[in-house]
Amino acid sequence: MSEADGLRTYRGKRHFDRTKEPSGEHPGQHGGTSDAGDEPAFVVQIHDASTMHFDFRLEVDGVLKSWSVPKGPSTDPRDKRLALPTEDHPLAYETFEGVIPEGEYGGGTVIVWDRGTYRPTSHDKKNRPVPFAESLEHGHATFELHGEKLRGQYALTRFHGREEKSGGSARKPTWLLVRTKSGDGSSLVRNKSGHGSSGGGTPDPRRARSALSGRTLRQVAETPDAPTWDPDGGGSTPGGGSTPPTRRSSTRSPRRTAPTRADAAGRASSPNGPTARTRRAARTTGSSCKTR
């Protein structure tokens, strides 16, 4: 399927004169992972729409292949997370954060929860590499995520439930997103040492913070016009006014908003880096955290 075909559904559902979402009309328009080498991008957004959900997107052949993951990705290999395919999105959507107006398709607030690159690792039963797009078509793709929060091997697997056989209504296929153990268990060892993800589960979407701006859903909803779109890494901001510092830090983004009470407690003494942030995210998981 060509890039244009892949995005037709996306464009058909949106009114770009009324929303600030990227249209994907400029092929060069990209979210800014150029500093990450040649690896394709991934992004996980939290979308506070009619139903709160996570959107898991992988760059494949010029578009973001997308799944809606109601509970969000888990870092615990024992959790199989439902992933429902949604329409391809343009690459530029990787850094979209803001408010889609009520009444529009997907109306609600979006934050970029995690982003980074991934290494496709799909292979066949004889352990020969398989092109990633092909593996998706076959219904089983494996990849290693290099995000700020999510790190390690994951798999997306389509399963054929009863809906496949029930004819009549053409229901969409269902997938599972699972954290997989690497062959030598090294990813789990890394976890124990505090890198990447800790004990599994998913952060509370309402308390989770953007990997781009450090903001929560509520903070984005309250100031939807705060700059979130910086594809060129320049200092200019849409909407004029003050010019905040550029966000193009390779490790950590400057914060745009005044610290909240939670920040004052949580950030004041924390060292920089995704590890500290991931730990904090794990702490706030509360009852949804299955292993702590």
Which residues bind to Mn ion, rule: CB under 5 A? 47, 55
The least CB distance from residue 55 to Mn ion, in Å, is 4
The residue behind tokens 């705060």 is 226
Q: In this complex, which beta carbon is closest to Mn ion, that of residue 57 or of residue 151?
A: 57
Cβ–Cβ under 8 Å, residues 43 and 30: no
Burial 154-191 (b: 16+ CB within 10 A, else e): bbbbbeeeeeeeeeeeeeeebbbbbbbeeeeeebeeeb
CB of residue 175 vs Mn ion: minimum separation in angstroms?
A: 15
Nearer to Mn ion, 60 or 289 (CB): 60
Residue closer to Mn ion, measured from CB, 18 or 292:
18
Residue 114, SS3 per DSSP: strand
286: left (phi over 0), alpha (psi -120 to 50) or beta: left
Residue nearest to Mn ion (CB): 47
- Quote the least distance from Cβ 212 to Mn ion, whole Å: 17
The residue (of 109 and 278) whose beta carbon lies closer to Mn ion is 109
Give 21 or 55: the residue with its C-beta nearer to Mn ion. Answer: 55
The rounded distance, in Å, linking the Cα atoms of 75 and 92 is 26
Q: State the nearest-atom distance from the C-beta of 14 to Mn ion, in Å.
A: 12
Look up tokens 């037709």; give the residue.
8
With CA atoms as reference, report the closest residue to 115 among 3, 232, 253, 216. Answer: 253
- The two tokens of residue 207 are 């308390």
Q: Smallest distance from the beta carbon of 12 to Mn ion, in angstroms?
A: 16
